[in-house]
Amino acid sequence: MFRCEGDIFNVNVSRVNSDGDGLLADYVLNQGNWNALCEEKELEFGDIVVFTKIRNNLINVMGFIVDGSSNTNVQFLGVTRLNAVQPSVPYEDAKDDRMYHLCTWPGHREHFQERTLVFYKRFSEILAFNRLSIPAKFQVENPMHMYRKALLKHHQLDLEFSVKMDRHHENPARTNHVNMYGDWAWFGQECGFGYTKMLRFRLMWVVSDLEDEEETRYPVFHVC
């Protein structure tokens, strides 16, 4: 199985003995699977492809030119934890959630310039309650109680979540919270989010649903 830019490609391999005794074997990726991946991702001749081995997978990937010569540059960068280790955070920034957000997006540095349209939440907290509690500070300029649903986007994945204000009738003095409900476990698995990952939610825009007269507008968030 290959995971590429959020998409999963199930591939077939052929076993080829690499010694006369048949004790050692190489597995060759079938040409049809590789062609399908290249076509889907629009890979062209000359592009550099990086394969990252994860977990305890014992298979190493090597590439060869049509004449049989190796065309692989192997770099061992040490053992990578399943959940990336966040560098130490300065004491004065320890309460800033942005400092705990690990992101591989090219525009990650620009995150720190986004204040009113962005909030952060640790994925483990979302899973514990099976809901996303939208921070009150974020809603000062972006009130969410007027919407009944929201669309979350990560790479090519889009998933709709319901938005609801939970009122505490048993304790009227308690602050009401606007929460986002949906299949968070499935969403996190498909996005490859680690259990302790600090997620970043950015409000991109508000769109109109022309097919639904009752829910005419809903927010769209980018999640990373």
List, for residues 154-179, the tens digit of each pLDDT value. Answer: 988 999 999 998 776 666 665 668 99
Residue 62 in domain: yes
Residue 22 in domain: yes
How many CA atoms within 13 Å lie on the side-chain side of 139?
Answer: 14
Structurally, the chain folds into a number of domains equal to 2
* Helix (DSSP H) and strand (DSSP E) numbers for the chain: 4, 11
> 184 and 102 in one domain?
yes
- Tell me what pLDDT residue 174 has: 58
List, for residues 6-30, the tens digit of each pLDDT value. Answer: 677 666 666 655 555 555 555 566 6
List, for residues 69-90, the tens digit of each pLDDT value. Answer: 655 555 555 544 444 444 555 5
List, for residues 43-53, the tens digit of each pLDDT value. Answer: 777 677 777 76
Residue 179 in domain: yes
Residue 215 in domain: yes
Name the nearest CA neighbour of 81 among 216, 175, 194, 200: 194
pLDDT band at 40, cuts 50/70/90?
A: confident
- Expressed in angstroms, the distance from the first to the final Cα of the chain is 23
Residue 199 in domain: yes
Residue 54 in domain: yes
Compute the distance between CA of residue 67 and CA of residue 65 in angstroms, rounded to an integer.
5
Among 45, 80, 115, where does a domain finish? 80
CA geometry: angle 134, 136, 141, nearest 5 deg: 100
> 65 and 15 in one domain?
yes
List, for residues 125-160, the tens digit of each pLDDT value. Answer: 999 989 999 988 888 888 898 899 999 999 889 999
Residue 86 in domain: no
- Tell me what pLDDT residue 121 has: 92
Among 51, 80, 109, where does a domain finish? 80
Question: Residues 186-211: what's their mean pLDDT?
Answer: 86
> 209 and 151 in one domain?
yes
Pairwise pLDDT comparison (33 vs 175), residue with the higher score: 33
- Tell me what pLDDT residue 75 has: 54
> 48 and 18 in one domain?
yes
Compute the distance between CA of residue 182 and CA of residue 185 in angstroms, rounded to an integer.
9
- Tell me what pLDDT residue 83 has: 46
Pairwise pLDDT comparison (93 vs 80), residue with the higher score: 93
Name the nearest CA neighbour of 108 among 202, 207, 25, 217: 202
- Tell me what pLDDT residue 153 has: 92
> 165 and 120 in one domain?
yes
> 100 and 35 in one domain?
no
> 143 and 67 in one domain?
no
| pLDDT at residue 98 tops 60 | yes
Any idea what the CATH number is for the domain that residue 151 is in?
A: 2.40.330.10
Among 58, 80, 102, where does a domain finish? 80
- Tell me the residue range of the domain where 111 lies: 91-223
> 114 and 73 in one domain?
no
| pLDDT at residue 122 tops 50 | yes
Q: Which letter does DSSP use for residue 54 in this model?
A: -
Whole-model pTM?
0.54
- Tell me what pLDDT residue 201 has: 92
- Tell me what pLDDT residue 177 has: 82
